[in-house]
Structure 1
Amino acid sequence: MLQRVGASVKEEWVVGGDFNAMLNDVEKEGGRRIVNNREGDTLIKERLDQFLTSISIVEKYLFIASSVIRQLQSDRDTILLDLCGCKPRCHPHDNRLCFRYEECWAIERDVKRIINNAWSKDAGNYGNKLENVCESLGNWQRNKYWKMKKDIHRLEENINKIINSSNRGDSVKRLKESQSKLDYLYSREERYWAQRLR
């Protein structure tokens, strides 16, 4: 119904309150799947109160956030819509606001798996999901960088050994192979730091 209404309303809109319905199983914890029948003493959590907005609101207020205010004297909580949310000047060290796409991710096979795992780790809001993704990709990137540094150091040592070796055999071939690998790693390291300088 809201999709039909939303398509016909040209202005920005926000609807909030108790919808007494869930969009999917992510909004329910405990009990039967998506059915509201209570079973015995089981604790069941359902997200019934929420805000829905037009896409233009989300695009206009980039740091929009919603939160739950606990009401201890009631079985109902209050929901708060904050159009300012986590602006950078308020939270300058918030990793979710410092997300940067890494050029090297486009060619790495592991990245898609890392993003999928991190995104599905938390059934909470999108801010938490994005934080998980940033943290996972950051850790992976750091590990990848230090492995690359070790590989560079190993190849440099290997090239020095080949050059200083008295055994000539296939040394020219091995030297070219090692130099080619080292050049590739140097270019990757250069791209890594070039992006950070920008």
Structure 2
Amino acid sequence: MAKQRTKNTVIAEFKALHQQEMEARQQLLEKQLELQSKLAELDSNLADHQAASVTDISEKALSEEASIRLQIAETDGMLTTINEKLARLAFTEETAVLRKEALELAKSEALEKYDQELPVLLEKIAEAKKAYLGLLADYHALKKESRQSVIDIAQKVGRSVDNVDLPNVREIKTYRMTNMQSCGARANSAGERRFEDWRRWQRSYSQTRG
């Protein structure tokens, strides 16, 4: 039974193949520069030979010119071959297949890990939610108790209770993320500040009238 391939195996194969391609590309670029230099020299030699043998129709002169032309054609053909090979090296089918395989394996492994770990996290989330709701209930009970203790005393001494008499407990607005958080952090929005100013004015006004 063949060993199952992993993304790390495929990545290692891709890197090895990519290294081979880079080395081949470097060698081709060096050969390309060499042939370009040779082609320029052959073109110069052909021009010099043609200028020097305008009236020379001997077999030797014709043969020399034909030889230079053949070298030019051969060198130009080699350059064309190198350019085409460089283009193929830039986008080889084998590396493209390995790239796709690596991504598919990474996607599969990530999904498998997610499915394995999600149930445990969901249980922890449910436990945290239950604990949060319990603490939220405790908070409301504490808030109610702090007010009720004042109301109880007021009833014992025969006095009605106004809002100003109740303790100004710290409010925690758990339903607005941009406002007071369950951690007790207070937002500094303009609306919140205006509301606090209004509450201070109301308390001050009630006290002056009392």
Give the TM-score category using the shorter length. Answer: 0.3 to 0.5
Query: Which structure has the higher relative contact order (CA within 8 Å, separation 6+)?
Result: 2
Larger radius of gyration: 2
TM-score normalised according to structure 1 size: 0.36
Normalised to the residue count of structure 2, the TM-score between the two structures is 0.34
**Higher-helix-fraction structure:** 2
